[in-house]
Amino acid sequence: MKQRLEQLLESGRQSVMQAQSDAVLQEVRVQLLGRKGELTALMKGMGALSAEERPVIGALVNTVKDSLESLIAERSAVLREEEIARRIEGERIDVTLPGRRRQLGSLHPITQVTQDVSAIFASLGFGVAEGPEIEKDFYNFEALNMPKDHPARDMQDTFYISEDVVLRTHTSPVQIRTMLKHQPPVRVIAPGTVYRRDSDITHSPMFHQIEGFLVDHNVTFGDLKGILTAFVTRYFGAEIGVRFRPSFFPFTEPSAEVDMQCVICSGKGCRVCKDSGWLEILGSGMIDPEVFKSVGYDSDIYSGFAFGMGVERIAMLKYGVSDLRLFFGNDVRFLQQFA
Amino acid sequence: MVVTWNWLKEFVEFDLTPEELSHRLTMAGLEVDVMEKLGAGLDGVIVARLLDVTQHPDADRLTVCRVDTGAGEVQVVCGATNHRSGDLIALATVGTILPGDFKIKESKIRGQLSQGMLCSEKELGLADESAGIMILPTDLQVGQPVFKALGLTDVRFELGLTPNRADCLSVVGVAREVAAMVAGTLHVPHATLQETGANIQTETSVEILDADKCPRYAARLIRKVKIGPSPQWLVRRLEAVGLRSINNVVDVTNYVMMELGHPLHAFDFSLLRGGKIVVRCPGDSAFTTLDSQVRKLTTNDLAICDGEGPVALAGVMGGENSEIRPETTDVLLESAWFEPYAIRRTSKRLGIHTDSSHRFERGADINMVPVALDRAAALIALLADGVISKGMIDAYPRKIENRSLIISTKRTNAILGLALSTAEVSRLLSSIGLDVKHAADADQLVVGVPTFRPDLEREIDLIEEVARLNGYDLIPVTMPSGCSTGHPEPAGQGTVRRLRDLMVAEGFAEVVNYSFVHPDVSDRILLTADDERRIHTVVRNPLTEDQSVMRTLLLPSLLETAARNIAYRSNDLSLFELRPVFRPVHGTELPEETLHLAAVLCGRRAPLGWCQTEEPVDFYDLKGAVEQLLEVLHIEGASWSNATGEPYLHAGKSCTLMHRNRCLGVLGEVHPKVLANYDIAYPVFMFELNVASLIQEANAISGIQPISRFPDVYRDSAFLLDSSVSAATITETIAGVRSNLIESSVIFDVYSGKGIPEGKKSVAVRVRYRSTERTLTDEEISKVHDRLVRSMESRLKACLR
């Protein structure tokens, strides 16, 4: 009996291991452990055993049964694993095929630069102001210390709507409008569209500027250098050199042109910087007392500085755009690169 | 303004390299745009003698030259015709690199050895044009570098001067700056004249009738001049600063203008009718300037007249009737000073910009009048063998005095952020020739400003000079104290940002078009004759007609942009623009500027791909975008009505977007005739919204809806309806059931065609039920849903399918 049980365990083990699918395994199970199975058949012979043998064999029967049960369970688990593995293998896809995509939108680079620059100045405490694109001569010129017949008007070829109304040639009129409305202290930037009567490879009749100004007690030229150095290094990188050199604007005195080290050649000299190693990036200066006079600020009490930059120029340097016309051509192959 | 190294050296000593000088000038506010070293790297071009010139055996137009280089003999093949045996010429020896990166190599030309090149002036960068090779003066030493032998080694500095620095429109003016930089001394040339013959006062007269425009007019008379070419040194120097040589007398006036900054004019005295000068405004008249152009003068144009009429446009250009001719013998030399505004008006109105008008407009130095006159007279006497008549006429009816200003050291330091002493300020200002004296107050200085610095009018101008001369570099970098005032953002700026972001999220690319357009855009988009958007703000002086009126709608620019992209075969487009449009308002000076947001959409819905739909976009793609815009701005209950009245839209596929009786804009398919006008061959959908209205209707999030913990149940019902029943009425009918158990309803299918009777459509609706308080029973839901179905049946004559 004992021998037969051991044989049953051995042949059962082989049948279980040979089962290649869950269905076959179930058949094996029925064959071994079912009501009409081999173990049941063996147990029918128990009655013929002696009283001493019976508990020993009984225990052995249970052991064999448990062993077979667990063999079947293990085999079943293995078969299930294999089945899943097979299915996964069968479902393999080509992951190199491109995914399902939607058209991406993009902000125009002019908008992006304006937003990025504004964010830096916002963190330096500057608010945003706006003004009309079609402007009175007074705000665009007169109040900025550029009376009629002033040679400085030659610096900005102007589109006229009427004798006294122009397409603004810079965002500086926003300075006047803001100062007429608010008493110091003021810290404001004014991004906007401006127009000059000039069109060639480096000039567009419409372009964009960001104007900024700060008026308070005890503002110095050193503060102007501080704010603008902070801006240039934050926007273009901390390693960029900045220099200030004398220039002329009718509405600032002293005036300064702000150059940064050429981002193309790192100051070594190239075509973009005309071999100088420097790029003009901002016009700036201490606000002229004449401007304060025209807005009713007392220049004995307050001082301040103003600055302005060309958005397209900054975008060209930042993104390596060499042709100004790309900004207004609106070719989607250009625009989508800013997605 | 161009200055050269050698010329500067005549007036000031300095020990700088050209690179250092260039940098120092730039940092002093005289920006060097271009620095050019003349003759640099051309030491290989030497003076050589032609030993003989023979015809090339195999080429009619070439010669074979034997050349003595001083160190031996070489053979050169040359194509020029102006060279003869014995001539001294400029030989570029083998290995020399000529301007334009042209390297001279030994070669064979038609079988003959050529060991170098005989150069023309053009090839050496000495002239723009030249006929034949350069024949050198006979007294040069063979073998010497040509540039050195001719004294041509020099450095040109092209300065980009700001309009305030009229004083630097001369070599002496720039030299004054250099002297200040290096703490050197400026030497201004003073001419010594030999005067002979009758006194000028007996020969001619000057009368100034308009002393406001011309406070000073001086003249000298030089007789017996021989007009001829100028000597080489003068020609070269003029060429170096960009002027063309004309003849010895005219060249002298130009030379002195470049040297001292004062424009002069030379008249042929024999051509002055009545032999005298009258400075006046001749009024409306025609006058031929020496460029042979007939100029129409008006009331305020100042002219130099003789006894009869104009002989020069004062300070701008001379007249053809009195110009120096080859046969001229007597020269009346003018040195005058004119009010900048007068010269500016005339030159601007007539569109004549000359070296002379440029200087007078920006402000010449009135005290330079006699100095420049004497300098030029002396040079004419020297170079044209002229005889200077005794004395000069110096009519100076309105004297202009030196300005006197006061500068405070305290204020200077307060503005610049420096800590200079009064003595330092004094030293800096003195270095550029200002007359500085200490005032009673130790903080202050009294500064006499010479007439060569008309730009220094106020204390702040002097403060700028202090900053400039001390160096902007030396001003310490500081941060302003105090904090921002926190001006509120202009209304709606946040909304505008959100609109842009949403358009990008919807897949649209932002474009920026010019604000000015061609006036015919109104026709192209079929606006009717009485449409007020045809009335544009007009640019008076546009560059082209394409940019001559300010746009009243964004659509035309977007269509143009779309057409341009389609021409480049970018066919699937979703573009938007958010910028102002301009509407003239009667009775106000400035037009009304209103922000618009417009978009165009065309082509395929998704980029081409193996798993992407190839379907083209339609009206509902666009409408979806607009709906989402409204959602982002929390504008609820907007209505879409089919009638837009817009001639540029397809009447069946377009609508007006209304909210609380305010029109927010229009959307729809662009009319095929408009598309044809833009050469677009397939449907384009557009919207154009008024951003100002959107901002007014926009709401902030007012509070959130609670989220139910209980499960939802939905019922789908399909209704058979008349085709004319709109989705809006179905939605309204469902809303009319007014049950708080209805969470949402969605039309998820609309069908007509096979199986549906003519004139009918099937609309399937999914209604979602949910309570925030409990799990709903089937009974509760059925009660509401039955009511909904009955409402559909009774109100819309719907049949449940």
Mean pLDDT computed over B114-134: 85
A55-81, pLDDT tens digit by residue? 888 888 888 889 889 999 999 999 999
**What is the token pair recorded at B729?**
């009425």
Q: Is A278's pLDDT higher than 80?
A: yes
B378-426, pLDDT tens digit by residue? 999 999 999 999 999 999 999 999 999 999 999 999 999 999 999 999 9
Nearest to A140, CA basis, from A205, A211, A200, A203: A211
State residue B641's pLDDT score. 87
Residues A124 and A60 in one domain: no
**What is the token pair recorded at A318?**
């930042």
Q: Is A155's pLDDT higher than 70?
A: no
State residue B486's pLDDT score. 60
Kindly report the nearest CA distance between residue B648 and chain A, in angstroms. Answer: 23
Residues A146 and A290 in one domain: yes
Residue B473 to residue A98, Cβ atoms within 8 A: no
B669-688, pLDDT tens digit by residue? 999 999 999 999 999 999 99
In a domain, A276, yes or no: yes
Residue B485 to residue A219, Cβ atoms within 8 A: no
In a domain, A190, yes or no: yes
Residue B504 to residue A105, Cβ atoms within 8 A: yes
In a domain, A299, yes or no: yes
Question: What number of C-beta contacts closer than 8 Å exist between A and B?
Answer: 249
Mean pLDDT computed over B557-562: 97
B496 DSSP 8-state letter: H
Nearest to A287, CA basis, from B464, B422, B454: B464
Kindly report the nearest CA distance between residue A148 and chain B, in angstroms. Answer: 10
B169-187, pLDDT tens digit by residue? 999 999 999 999 999 999 9
Domain B2-39+155-182, what fold? Phenylalanyl-tRNA Synthetase; Chain B, domain 1 (3.30.56)
In a domain, A231, yes or no: yes
Mean pLDDT check: name the lowest of A30-44, A250-264, B597-611, B752-766: A30-44
B543 DSSP 8-state letter: S
In a domain, A116, yes or no: yes
Q: Residues of A with CB below 8 A from B417's CB? A: 220-223
Selected residue of B432, B511, B596, B617 to mutate for chain A interface (largest A Cβ count, 10 A): B511
Nearest to B203, CA basis, from B397, B387, B396: B387
Rounding to the nearest 10 degrees, give the CA dihedral for residues B554, B555, B556, B559. Answer: 130
State residue B488's pLDDT score. 65
The answer to whether residues B114 and B108 touch, using CB atoms and an 8 Å cutoff, is yes
**A161 shares contact with chain B (CB less than 8 Å):** yes
pLDDT tier at B430, thresholds 50, 70, 90: very high
Residues A143 and A239 in one domain: yes
CATH of domain B713-800: 3.30.70.380
In a domain, A103, yes or no: no
State residue A273's pLDDT score. 83
Selected residue of A259, A301, A330, A333 to mutate for chain B interface (largest B Cβ count, 10 A): A330
Q: In whole angstroms, what is the distance from residue A303 CA to residue A218 CA?
A: 6
Kindly report the nearest CA distance between residue B767 and chain A, in angstroms. Answer: 30
CA-angle at B623, arms to B622 and B628, nearest 5°: 100
Mean pLDDT computed over A184-211: 93
- In the CATH hierarchy, which top-level class contains the domain B45-152? mainly beta
How is B697-759 classified by DSSP, letter by letter?
Answer: H------PPPPP-SPPEEEEEEEEEETT--HHHHHHHHHTT--TTEEEEEEEEEE-STTS-TT
Rounding to the nearest 10 degrees, give the CA dihedral for residues B495, B496, B500, B505. Answer: 0
Q: Residues of A with CB below 8 A from B622's CB? A: none
The answer to whether residues B174 and B159 touch, using CB atoms and an 8 Å cutoff, is yes
Q: List the single residue in A135, A206, A330 with the smallest CB-CB distance to B561.
A: A330
Q: Is A156's pLDDT higher than 70?
A: no
HEC sequence for B170-223: CHHHHHHHHHHHHCCCCCCCCCCCCEEEEEHHHHCCEEECCCCCCCEEEEEEEE
Residues A76 and A21 in one domain: yes
Buried b (16+ CB within 10 A) or exposed e, B425-435: bbebbebbbbe
Q: Is A148's pLDDT higher than 70?
A: yes
Q: List the single residue in B26, B493, B547 with the smallest CB-CB distance to A205.
A: B547
pLDDT tier at B130, thresholds 50, 70, 90: confident
Kindly report the nearest CA distance between residue B12 and chain A, in angstroms. Answer: 22
Residues A191 and A137 in one domain: yes
Q: ipTM for the complex?
A: 0.87
Question: What does the mean pLDDT of chain A come to?
Answer: 91
Cis peptide before B310 (omega within 30 of 0): no
State residue B100's pLDDT score. 79
Kindly report the nearest CA distance between residue A85 and chain B, in angstroms. Answer: 27
Q: In whole angstroms, what is the distance from residue B521 CA to residue B560 CA?
A: 10
Residues A148 and A53 in one domain: no
Domain B403-471, what fold? Phenylalanyl-tRNA Synthetase; Chain B, domain 1 (3.30.56)
Residues A189 and A328 in one domain: yes
B73-120, pLDDT tens digit by residue? 999 998 888 888 888 999 999 998 888 788 999 999 888 999 999 999
Q: Burial, A221: exposed, middle or buried (Cβ in 10 Å; 0-12, 13-18, 19+)? A: buried
Q: Which residue has the higher pLDDT, B496 or B701?
A: B496
The answer to whether residues A126 and B487 touch, using CB atoms and an 8 Å cutoff, is no
Which range of A43-47, A99-103, B577-581, B768-772 scores highest in mean pLDDT? It is B577-581
Number of H helices, E strands in chain B: 21, 43
Superfamily of domain B195-395: Phenylalanyl-trna Synthetase, Chain B, domain 3 (3.50.40.10)
**What is the token pair recorded at B768?**
């979602």
Residue B538 to residue A161, Cβ atoms within 8 A: yes
**A139 shares contact with chain B (CB less than 8 Å):** no
Full residue range of the structural domain in which residue A70 is found? 2-90
How is B559-618 classified by DSSP, letter by letter?
Answer: HHHHHHHHHTT---EEEEEEEEEEE--TT-SSPEEEEEEEEEEESBSS---TTS--PBP-
Judged by CB atoms within 8 Å, which residues 292-311 of A form the interface with B?
303
Q: Is A42's pLDDT higher than 70?
A: yes
Q: In whole angstroms, what is the distance from residue B288 CA to residue B323 CA?
A: 11
User: If residue B538 lies in a helix (H) or strand (E), which one and from where to where?
Assistant: strand B537-538
Name the residue of chain A whose CA is nearest to B482's CA. Answer: A216
Kindly report the nearest CA distance between residue B35 and chain A, in angstroms. Answer: 10
CA distances from A338 to A105, A334, B493, B636 (A): 9, 8, 22, 33
**What is the token pair recorded at B41?**
């790297």
Mean pLDDT computed over A113-130: 93
State residue B761's pLDDT score. 94
Q: Residues of B with CB below 8 A from A128's CB? A: 489-490, 493
State residue A265's pLDDT score. 85
**In terms of CATH architecture, what is B493-697?**
2-Layer Sandwich (3.30)
Residue A245 to residue B31, Cβ atoms within 8 A: yes
Q: List the single residue in A128, A214, A226 with the smallest CB-CB distance to B490.
A: A128
Residue A106 to residue B458, Cβ atoms within 8 A: no
Residues A23 and A152 in one domain: no
Q: Residues of B with CB below 8 A from A182's CB? A: 485, 487
Mean pLDDT computed over B367-372: 96
Last residue in a domain, options A59, A90, A121: A90
pLDDT tier at A151, thresholds 50, 70, 90: low
Provide the number of structural domains found in chain A.
Answer: 2
Q: Is the dihedral of CA B716, B722, B726, B729 positive or negative?
A: negative
**What is the token pair recorded at A260?**
């940064």
CA-angle at A135, arms to A129 and A136, nearest 5°: 120
Residue type, A117: V
Nearest to B526, CA basis, from B680, B681, B667, B649: B649
CA distances from B637 to B326, B355, B658 (A): 89, 69, 9
Q: List the single residue in B31, B34, B479 with the smallest CB-CB distance to A223.
A: B479
Residue B537 to residue A161, Cβ atoms within 8 A: yes
State residue A147's pLDDT score. 84
Instruction: Report the DSSP beta bridge partners of residue B750.
Output: B763
Residues A83 and A133 in one domain: no
Structure-token match 């149940």, residue found: B713
Instruction: Give percent above pLDDT 90 in chain B.
Output: 78
Residues A159 and A225 in one domain: yes
Residues A151 and A198 in one domain: yes
**A129 shares contact with chain B (CB less than 8 Å):** yes
**A328 shares contact with chain B (CB less than 8 Å):** yes
B478-488, pLDDT tens digit by residue? 999 876 656 66
Question: What does the mean pLDDT of chain B come to?
Answer: 92
Q: In whole angstroms, what is the distance from residue B211 CA to residue B398 CA?
A: 6
In a domain, A96, yes or no: no
Q: In whole angstroms, what is the distance from residue B768 CA to residue B734 CA?
A: 12
Name the residue of chain A whose CA is nearest to B493's CA. Answer: A128
Q: Residues of B with CB below 8 A from A183's CB? A: none
CATH code, A131: 3.30.930.10
Domain extents in chain B: 2-39+155-182, 45-152, 195-395, 403-471, 493-697, 713-800
**A253 shares contact with chain B (CB less than 8 Å):** yes
Q: Burial, B341: exposed, middle or buried (Cβ in 10 Å; 0-12, 13-18, 19+)? A: middle
Residue A333 to residue B570, Cβ atoms within 8 A: yes
Residue A332 to residue B463, Cβ atoms within 8 A: no
**What is the token pair recorded at B377?**
């007279």
Q: Residues of A with CB below 8 A from B511's CB? A: 108, 330, 335
Q: Residues of B with CB below 8 A from A230's CB? A: 479
Listed as own residue / partner, the contacts of B627-633 with beta carbons closer than 8 Å and 24 or more positions apart are B628/B502, B628/B506, B629/B499, B629/B502, B629/B503, B629/B689, B629/B694, B632/B498, B632/B499, B632/B502, B633/B495, B633/B498, B633/B499, B633/B694, B633/B697, B633/B698, B633/B699
Alpha-carbon Rg of chain A, whole angstroms? 43
How is A31-88 classified by DSSP, letter by letter?
Answer: HHHSTTSHHHHHHGGGGGS-TTHHHHHHHHHHHHHHHHHHHHHHHHHHHHHHHHHHHH
Asked whether the domain spanning B493-697 has the same topology as the one spanning B195-395, the reply is: no
pLDDT tier at B40, thresholds 50, 70, 90: confident
Mean pLDDT computed over A276-301: 94
Residue A246 to residue B29, Cβ atoms within 8 A: yes
Residue B485 to residue A335, Cβ atoms within 8 A: no
Last residue in a domain, options A90, A117, A152: A90
**A233 shares contact with chain B (CB less than 8 Å):** no
Q: Is B307's pLDDT higher than 80?
A: yes
Q: In whole angstroms, what is the distance from residue B543 CA to residue B520 CA?
A: 16
Residues A129 and A78 in one domain: no
Q: List the single residue in A133, A151, A331 with the smallest CB-CB distance to B515.
A: A133
**What is the token pair recorded at A135?**
């402007």
Rounding to the nearest 10 degrees, give the CA dihedral for residues A111, A114, A119, A121. Answer: -170
Residue A229 to residue B612, Cβ atoms within 8 A: no
Q: List the single residue in A188, A230, A286 with the smallest CB-CB distance to B487.
A: A188
Q: In whole angstroms, what is the distance from residue A325 CA to residue A338 CA?
A: 16
Q: In whole angstroms, what is the distance from residue B281 CA to residue B300 CA?
A: 6
Residue A105 to residue B503, Cβ atoms within 8 A: yes
Q: Is B189's pLDDT higher than 80?
A: no
Q: Burial, B535: exposed, middle or buried (Cβ in 10 Å; 0-12, 13-18, 19+)? A: middle
Residue B480 to residue A330, Cβ atoms within 8 A: no
